[in-house]
Amino acid sequence: MLDRLASLLEKPLVIREPLATLDAIVVLGAPLGPGDSLSPLVAERCAAAAALWHAGAARYVVATGGTTRGAGRAEADAMAEALHDLGVPGVIVERESRTTLDNARLTAPLLRARGARSVWLVTQPFHGRRSARLFRGVGLDAHVWHIADSIEYHDRRRAMRWLVREYAAWARLLVSPPVPS
- What the chain holds in terms of domains, given with CATH numbers, is 2-175 (3.40.50.620)
Helices (H), 15-124: 40-54, 75-85, 100-112
Would you state the pLDDT for residue 69? 85
Averaged pLDDT, groups of 10, the chain, 181 residues long? 92 95 98 95 98 98 95 97 98 97 98 98 97 97 97 95 95 87 63
Whether 18 contacts 74, CB under 8 Å = no
Its sign, for the CA torsion 45, 93, 140, 119, is negative
Beta bridge partners, 24, equal 60, 119
